[in-house]
């Protein structure tokens, strides 16, 4: 016996099926949706943990950068005359409104780490409120454009430690955008 009401609403509407066949297909479809949702949540959780890990990397690089600037010991990142932390430091373009850039990094990345820890329940679930974190990260990206301008146009020397911080910020932005969509 064919149930014509169910027949028209199935994705296999061209096949005549009994209601028991439709129920089996429907339950398989539900299981498939559940499996996709579980996979997506695991992927989001991994991505959220990557956000936290990158925040921690940003904190570590920021502390390293601050140490270099405070001790004025740039031997580890003076690669050439064009790629040099010491050259950027010697240029005098190392602060904005009297606040050294390394201090901004020491505030920025721990702030993002704390915000990420709060938003993920200390890494237990996926990054919630990513749509609120993206605008903050975009502010950081706009600021790095200013820093790129200083390094490439004004000073004409690139600081590799600074560039690594920019890259961390860009990667965190990409993750947050991915989670916000």
pTM: 0.71
Q: Are 62 and 106 in contact (CB under 8 A)?
A: yes
Instruction: Identify the helix (H) or strand (E) that includes residue 120.
Output: none
Task: Look at residue 92 in the predicted model and tell me its pLDDT.
Answer: 87
Give pLDDT tens digits for 79-135.
888 998 888 888 988 889 999 999 999 999 999 988 888 877 765 555 666 677 888
Cα 134 from Cα 58, distance rounded (Å) = 17
Residue 171 burial (CB < 10 Å; 0-12/13-18/19+)? Answer: middle
Is domain 44-180 given the CATH code 1.20.1440.130 in the classification? Answer: yes
**Confidence band for 15, pLDDT divided at 50, 70 and 90:** very low
Q: Tell how far CA 77 is from the center of its chain.
A: 25
| CB-based contact 102:145 (threshold 8 Å) | no
- Domain boundaries in the chain? 44-180
Q: Which two tokens stand for residue 114?
A: 């704390």
Tell me if 151 sits within 8 A of 160, measured CB to CB. no
Q: How far apart are CA 160 and CA 82, in angstroms?
A: 10
Indicate the pairing of strand 95-96 with strand 99-100: antiparallel
Phi-psi region of 122 (alpha: psi -120 to 50; beta: other; left: phi over 0): left
- Token code pair at residue 11: 């994705």
Q: Are the CB atoms for 62 and 108 separated by under 8 Å? A: yes
Give the tens place of pLDDT for each residue, 39-66. Answer: 444 556 677 788 888 999 999 999 999 9
* Rounded mean pLDDT, 56-77: 89
Q: With both helix axes pointing from N to C terminus, report the angle between 160-180 and 130-149 in degrees, rounded to the nearest 10.
A: 150
Q: How far apart are CA 160 and CA 180, in angstroms?
A: 30
User: pLDDT > 90: what percent of the chain?
Assistant: 34
């Amino acid at each position: 016996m064919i149930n014509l009401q169910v027949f028209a609403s199935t994705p296999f509407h061209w096949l005549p099926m009994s209601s028991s066949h439709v129920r089996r297909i429907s339950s398989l479809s539900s299981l498939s949706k559940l499996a996709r949702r579980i996979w997506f949540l695991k992927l989001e959780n991994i991505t959220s943990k990557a956000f936290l890990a990158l925040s921690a990397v940003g904190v570590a690089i920021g502390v390293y950068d601050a140490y270099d600037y405070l001790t004025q010991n740039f031997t580890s990142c003076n690669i050439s005359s064009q790629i040099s932390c010491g050259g950027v430091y010697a240029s005098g373009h190392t602060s904005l409104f009297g606040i050294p850039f390394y201090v901004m990094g020491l505030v920025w990345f721990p702030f993002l780490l704390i915000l990420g820890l709060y938003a993920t329940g200390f890494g237990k679930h996926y990054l919630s409120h990513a749509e609120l974190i993206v605008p903050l990260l975009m502010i950081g990206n706009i600021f790095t454009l200013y820093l790129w301008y200083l390094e490439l146009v004004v000073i004409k020397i690139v600081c590799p430690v600074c560039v690594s911080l920019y890259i961390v910020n860009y990667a965190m932005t990409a993750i947050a955008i991915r989670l916000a969509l």
